Amino acid sequence: MSFDNFNWFFVLLLVPFFFFWVYRRKIPDSIQYPHIEEGWILKKTWRQRYHGIPSILMGLGLVCLIAILARPIETIQSFRMQREGIAIQIVVDISSSMSQDADYKDNQKTRMEVAKKVLSSFISGDGEELKGRSNDLLGIITFARYSDVISPLTFSHSALDQMVEDLEPSETPNEDGTAYGDAVALAAARLSKLDEIRGEEMANVKNRIIVLLTDGENNCGLYLPDQATALAKEWGIRVYAISLGEAVSVITETKDGKKIDLKSSENPLERMAAYTGGIFRTAHDYESLKGVYAEIDRLEKSQIKEEDFSYEADSSRVFFLLSLLFLISGLWLKATKFRGVH
């Protein structure tokens, strides 16, 4: 604590004179003894012993009033965090093929269950490779033949884990299929709408990405993968594409007679990632899928800036309350318990 006008404390030099005046002044209603010897016969009461307490309290009240005039201020240092998060649309395949088995540690689980475990760790962290995306704007879109928005883009991640846990492969035949072209187009459109949202949190979202997980080939829907890729590219959105499971190999022959091995289910995904500035990876079990999401987690880091700042707070209220306490207490004791005592 410091004082803005310290010169007022020179007035404290007058306080000793105040106490001198209090103790030297004569009180009219005090008992006068004709002979000093007779006064020593009587024992002093507790009021006589402590009769100076009211004056001391009033003196302290006077000191507090002077401190108020000196303008006490307290410098408060603090810091604030400014986050520059990332808007991430998590796009998950829930077609019937996601019910096939994949390795999960030493056991077998469906691809859907393996994906759910990794997605939950990607969102909230697992204390190991995946740290969680607490500073990011996250949304979840699922797809089979049709795309569904499971969760809008939000900073409130508490319910996302439960939404991921509730994901199940499609069991309706007329809704089955793999239309990741439509899902990516929908995700890109929703990310592009962030420009129309005003607010401090949205202004701090610098990057926008789509993390696509699928185990099959785009075989239905309105948008071809290349069309969805063009939309994402136009809106400055990166696509990270992950193929889960075994891909179908296709042997084709080039113009010069050279035979190459194309993976028909992966080739559009690779083009999608390369064209938008993302990456394409394959995974076949829990560990490899977790490794891919950990790589994306490292590539797309949120930035958190800490800014130190300080400000001055007026502390006069404390001294004002203390002065009232001391002065009122001193006057009350003087008028009651120590009345007429010298």
Mean pLDDT by 10 residues, the chain (342 residues): 70 69 56 52 64 77 80 69 78 94 91 95 89 89 95 87 92 90 96 69 73 93 94 95 73 61 71 95 93 92 61 74 83 74 58
Residue carrying the six token digits 């129309």: 196
* pLDDT on residue 196: 67
Q: Are residues 180 and 276 located together in one domain of the fold? A: yes
* pLDDT on residue 198: 47
Q: Are residues 113 and 253 located together in one domain of the fold? A: yes
Q: Is residue 194 part of a domain?
A: yes
Q: Is residue 210 part of a domain?
A: yes
Q: Is residue 342 part of a domain?
A: no
* 323 φ/ψ sector (left φ>0, alpha ψ -120 to 50, else beta): alpha
Residue carrying the six token digits 């069991």: 171
Would you call 142 helix, strand, or coil by DSSP? strand
**Measured distance CA(127)–CA(228) in Å, rounded:** 35
Q: Which two tokens stand for residue 25?
A: 């002044």
DSSP 158: T
The pLDDT tens digits for 309-341 are 566 677 778 878 888 888 888 788 777 876 766
Q: Are residues 98 and 73 located together in one domain of the fold? A: no
Q: Is residue 340 part of a domain?
A: no
Q: Is residue 17 part of a domain?
A: yes
Instruction: With CA atoms as reference, report the closest residue to 322 among 59, 44, 80.
Output: 59
Q: Is residue 306 part of a domain?
A: no
Structural domain count of the chain? 2
Q: Is residue 169 part of a domain?
A: yes
User: What is the extent of the structural domain holding 203?
Assistant: 86-301
* pLDDT on residue 338: 67
Q: Are residues 67 and 125 located together in one domain of the fold? A: no
Residue carrying the six token digits 């003196």: 59
